[in-house]
Amino acid sequence: MTLHLNASESVSQKILSFLESLTKQGESVEIIDDSIYKFEKDGITRGLEQVKNGEVYSSDEILDELNK
């Protein structure tokens, strides 16, 4: 499940504290703030645009270029 949260600072801190307690209990929780979300979304959008434009290279092509 993904949850996007818009809350006051005090509520956010309480929620983050609770989530941290869950991770200490071994639960899986990933926290992505707005900056990371926007960065990842931009990367995905850029990657899809590269695929659309045929700007995709095989790993062999990339390794050959790096070994030059």
Percent of the chain with pLDDT over 70: 100
Please say if the pLDDT value at position 3 is more than 80. no
Which residues, 6 or more positions from 4, have their beta carbon under 8 angstroms from its beta carbon?
Answer: 37
Q: pTM to 2 decimals?
A: 0.49
* Kind plus residue range of the DSSP H or E element containing 43: helix 34-52
CB 42 within 8 A of CB 50: no
Residue in the block written with tokens 């639960």: 27
Instruction: Show the tokens assigned to 51.
Output: 């695929």
Q: Is 8 helix (H, G, I), strand (E, B) or coil?
A: coil
10-39: pLDDT as tens digits: 998 999 899 999 999 999 988 887 788 889
Least confident of 1-5, 56-60, 62-66: 1-5
